Chains A and B, each alone.
Chain A
């Protein structure tokens, strides 16, 4: 049964230095508040996993939390590059960052395998590309047809962290709109933390909603506004202006450090 905790308690209890952590979200429902709490608690040497590392991963990397990144597309959507990610890769600042690079289809299959507790996922993918040299792909032969297929090692994060619209007091979580790979990321992880906009007495059914039962989760924390500048369907819109502003803030080490100090390290929780 999921325990209802504060965000501070949740990160302190679930995330340790050196852990493999997946903070998932696909444009929608990106767990920014949880990422900021990881920066505040100064976690180090993390392996970060995500299909689409964007601004929050740029912040975690620039703040020195990460040693390794498993990903398939790293950018500031609609704006351009992630400058902290690039600086870590191109100049090893503030820490060198090792990459394991996939395609979306490969990572999705690897998460689905993790959620199903299988050792690998299988897909028609990667063939003829230069990606297999930089990722965990092997080739297997279908035992029934002989077809050559790509196998990707299952993703099994130590901690899966996602953001959702709401939970009830038993920790049952309800999320809707673009749901990305959040369900798979949570079920593939050994421990999980879901941050929510609000904790309510009763979950009203929403068509097409994903339900993560409380008994399948480790902890749930209220974090209203916790996806900003990403959006929460039914709650608030994406702050597109922030993504544009981030480009200038993140280009410069000092401007970045100043921003992290003001908005994360010294910000009220």
Chain B
């Protein structure tokens, strides 16, 4: 079965979740990937949305973090102060799953503005839950399409901290989680180098050349010696991914 680069990205991200993981999910691609994991290899993955829904099991892909179906299918629905204080900050979440507009080489993320803060070229929605998700989850995964505009030498705004300025930064800042463990893109997968904590190309997706990933990165991208190729999406994965629909899409499809 042939697939698009966006499908490859969602599948590669979903594979990073393990059965039973407790996952704090951002809306959009992270939610799609987490629900794909639940529909395939990780049926007991616990999905938590910042609207306070714990253990949501939506049949339809949610359009927003507060869809009614998330509340109807959740094990518990709690208030927003509780979800951030008792559940996220207290260190009960295994995996945070985020999107962003920009990342730098240390996995710091921008979801606030492009350009100057006071006179932005593009005003983005802002941090929402991301700053504390990146701070407090045991590990954080990021999904972001790779281009020189998104993988930048210098962020326009640091909304969420990956590895700050490099080794020692997270410890100095008192951030308890391990930080960004992978950035999954439409071209491949980047992981922090164990020494420098710089995002390094660990995998390319089938049909993608290393030079393509390097050209799509705004800093001199290091490539791992043991660079791997991602496994193609299986028929089962693609079928499950294409079956994920928002309630509206399902209705339109009849």
Contact = CB atoms under 8 A, between A and B. Distances in A.
- Counting chain A residues whose Cβ lies within 8 A of the other chain, the interface size class is 35 or more
A52 interface: yes
Interface in A109-132: 109, 111-112, 123-131
A180 B68 contact: no
Given A73-B128, A124-B132, A147 B174 contact: yes
B157 A130 contact: yes
A129 B161 contact: yes
B19 interface: no
A27 B67 CA distance: 7
A205 interface: no
Interface string B9-22: 00000000000000
Contacts of A123: 84-85, 89, 132
Contact of A131 (B70, B84, B125, B127): B127
A184 B136 contact: no
Contacts of B130: 103
B52 A103 contact: no
A26 B176 contact: no
Contacts of A125: 89, 131-132, 135
A184 B79 contact: yes
Main secondary structure of the interface of A (DSSP, over half): loop
B71 interface: yes
Contact of B66 (A126, A131, A180): A180
Given A124-B174, A125-B135, A178-B77, A130 B123 contact: no
A179 interface: yes
Interface in B209-223: none
B80 interface: yes
B158 to A, nearest CB: 5
Interface of B: 27, 50-53, 63-68, 70-71, 77, 79-81, 84-85, 88-89, 112, 117, 119-120, 122-132, 135-136, 157-161, 164, 169-170, 173-176, 246-248
